[in-house]
C-alpha cells in the first residue's frame, strides 16, 4: 500500500492534467446540443465520483465543488457549463506539464465521451465535433484526429447523415472513449458496433506530404506505377522507401487503383500495423495514393504550397 502511495505521488501531475482535459472535453461534449438530459447529468455525476480521490489536490479542490453545484439540481445550464470550462481552462493554461497536442487529444477523448453520454449522437453534436476538428487542424497526423476528420469528411459530404453513418461514427468513437469512466455507456455495445462496421485503416484527408528526409512505405496496387518506379520517384525527391512499416515510417501510402479510400475499410496487415503504431503515439500518416501522386507532381513541378 505504501509503495502504491509512493508511485501515485509521481504519477499525480500526469493524472491531474489528463483529468482536467478530459473533464473539459466531457462538459463541452455534453453541452454541445444545448440540452443536457438526465443521462448526461448522471454521466457527469459518475465521472466526479470516480475522481473524488483528487478532491484534496489542486486544482480539483476548486473544480469539483463547482461541478457538483452545477448538477445538484439535476440540470446543467449553458452558463454553468461555460463556468466549468472557464475554470478548467484557467488551470490547464497555467500548466506546462504536457504540450498542446497531448492536451488537445485528451480533450477530444473527453468530448467524444460527452457527445455519447446519453447513448445517442445528434446532428448538432456531429456539427459541434466537426467545428472543433476544423479549428484544431494543427493535430493533423495524430491519432485519432486524422481518423475522425476522415470519417466526418465522408459522412458530411452529401450534407445528409444516415442512421448507418451515425452508427459508423459511434463505432469508431468507441475506440477512443474510456468506458471505465462511464456510467451509461457499455463497451460491449460498442464492440458489437465495431464488429458490424469493421472500421480499420482510414486515410487522412488532404494530408501535407513532403519528401526530403521522409520514410515511405507502400501497400496495395498502384494505378499509376510499379513499386520499383515508386521507390525511384521517392528517392529522386529526397525521401526513402521501405517494404515494412515501423515507428520511423512517416507515410504509409495506400494504393487503390484510383478508388478513394477515405474510410470504412481495412486494407491488410500494413494498415493494421500503422494504425497500432498511431495508437501508440507514432507519427505514421496513412495517405491515399491520389494525394501521394498529387504531392509528387507538385514537388516535381517545383510547387511548394
User: Using one digit for the tens of pLDDT, what is the confidence trace for 102-143?
Assistant: 889 999 999 999 999 999 999 999 999 999 999 999 999 899
Residue 202 belongs to a domain = no
Of 147, 170, 197, the domain-final residue = 197
Nearest of 269, 263, 260, 249 to residue 289 by alpha carbon: 260
Q: Are residues 169 and 219 in the same domain?
A: no
Q: Are residues 241 and 287 in the same domain?
A: yes
Of 162, 197, 232, the domain-final residue = 197
| Confidence label for 3 from pLDDT (cuts 50, 70 and 90) | very low
Average pLDDT for 66-85: 82
Residue 75 belongs to a domain = yes
What percent of the chain clears pLDDT 90, i.e. is strictly above it? Answer: 39
| Confidence label for 267 from pLDDT (cuts 50, 70 and 90) | low
In whole angstroms, what is the distance from residue 60 CA to residue 64 CA? 5
Q: Are residues 149 and 274 in the same domain?
A: no
Which is higher by pLDDT, 265 or 40? 40
Q: Are residues 166 and 220 in the same domain?
A: no
Residue 210 belongs to a domain = no
Q: Are residues 275 and 180 in the same domain?
A: no
Average pLDDT for 180-205: 83
Task: Count the alpha carbons within 13 Å of 45 in the hemisphere toward its beta carbon.
Answer: 15
CA-derived radius of gyration, the chain: 21
Q: Are residues 144 and 187 in the same domain?
A: yes
87: containing domain: 2-197
Query: How many domains is the chain partitioned into structurally?
Result: 2
Residue 131 belongs to a domain = yes
User: What is the residue whose three cell numbers read 472543433?
Assistant: 132
Contact between 206 and 287 under an 8 Å Cβ cutoff? The reply is: no
Q: Are residues 180 and 270 in the same domain?
A: no
| Confidence label for 257 from pLDDT (cuts 50, 70 and 90) | low
| Confidence label for 74 from pLDDT (cuts 50, 70 and 90) | confident
Identify the weakest region by mean pLDDT among 13-17, 118-122, 123-127, 249-253.
Answer: 13-17
Exposure pattern of 73-106 as b/e (b: 16+ CB <10 Å)?
Answer: eeebeeebbebbbebbeebbeeeeebeeebbbbb
Q: Are residues 99 and 62 in the same domain?
A: yes
Contact residues for 9 (Cβ-Cβ < 8 A; gap 6+): none
DSSP letters, 54-116, are GTTSTTHHHHHHHHHHHHTTS---HHHHHHHHHHHHHHHHT--SS-HHHHHHHHHHHHHHHHT
Q: Are residues 73 and 23 in the same domain?
A: yes
Please state whether the predicted TM-score (pTM) of the whole model is above 0.85: no
Q: Torsion angle of alpha carbons 122, 202, 147, 159, nearest 10°?
A: -40
| Confidence label for 93 from pLDDT (cuts 50, 70 and 90) | low
CATH classification at residue 269? 3.40.50.10190
Residue 163 belongs to a domain = yes
Contact residues for 215 (Cβ-Cβ < 8 A; gap 6+): 239, 240, 241, 242, 248, 249, 250, 251
Confidence at residue 252, expressed as pLDDT on a 0 to 100 scale: 94
Q: Assess whether pLDDT exceeds 60 at residue 2.
A: no
Residue 203 belongs to a domain = no
Of 140, 170, 197, the domain-final residue = 197
With the C-alpha atoms ordered 9, 14, 17, 18, is the resulting torsion angle positive or negative? Answer: negative
Which is higher by pLDDT, 260 or 12? 12
User: What is the residue whose three cell numbers read 465495431?
Assistant: 194
Residue 282 belongs to a domain = yes
Q: Are residues 223 and 148 in the same domain?
A: no
Amino acid at each position: 500500500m505504501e509503495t502504491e502511495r509512493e508511485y501515485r505521488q509521481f504519477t499525480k501531475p500526469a493524472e491531474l492534467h489528463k483529468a482536467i482535459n478530459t473533464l473539459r472535453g466531457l462538459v463541452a461534449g455534453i453541452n454541445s446540443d444545448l440540452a443536457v438530459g438526465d443521462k448526461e447529468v448522471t454521466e457527469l455525476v459518475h465521472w466526479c465520483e470516480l475522481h473524488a480521490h483528487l478532491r484534496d489536490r489542486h486544482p480539483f479542490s476548486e473544480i469539483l465543488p463547482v461541478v457538483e453545484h452545477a448538477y445538484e439540481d439535476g440540470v446543467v445550464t449553458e452558463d454553468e457549463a461555460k463556468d466549468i470550462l472557464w475554470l478548467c481552462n484557467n488551470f490547464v493554461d497555467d500548466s506546462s506539464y504536457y504540450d498542446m497536442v497531448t492536451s488537445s487529444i485528451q480533450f477530444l477523448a473527453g468530448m467524444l465521451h460527452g457527445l455519447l453520454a446519453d447513448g445517442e449522437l445528434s446532428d448538432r453534436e456531429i456539427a459541434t465535433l466537426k467545428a472543433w476538428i476544423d479549428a484544431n487542424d494543427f493535430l493533423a497526423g495524430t491519432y485519432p484526429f486524422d481518423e475522425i476528420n476522415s470519417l466526418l469528411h465522408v459522412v458530411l459530404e452529401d450534407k445528409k447523415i444516415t442512421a448507418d453513418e451515425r452508427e459508423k461514427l459511434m463505432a469508431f468513437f468507441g475506440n477512443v472513449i474510456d468506458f471505465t469512466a462511464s456510467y451509461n455507456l457499455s463497451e460491449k455495445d460498442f464492440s458489437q458496433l465495431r464488429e458490424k462496421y469493421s472500421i480499420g485503416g482510414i486515410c487522412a484527408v488532404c494530408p501535407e506530404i513532403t519528401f526530403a528526409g521522409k520514410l515511405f512505405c507502400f501497400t496495395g496496387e498502384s494505378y499509376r506505377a510499379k513499386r520499383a518506379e515508386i521507390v525511384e520517384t521517392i528517392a529522386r525527391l529526397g525521401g526513402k522507401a521501405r517494404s515494412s512499416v515501423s515507428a520511423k515510417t512517416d507515410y504509409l501510402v495506400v494504393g487503390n487503383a484510383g478508388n478513394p479510400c477515405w474510410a470504412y475499410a481495412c486494407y491488410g496487415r500494413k494498415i493494421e500495423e500503422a494504425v497500432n503504431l498511431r495508437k501508440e503515439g507514432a507519427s505514421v500518416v496513412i495517405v491515399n495514393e491520389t494525394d501521394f501522386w498529387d504531392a509528387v507532381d507538385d514537388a516535381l513541378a517545383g510547387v511548394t504550397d
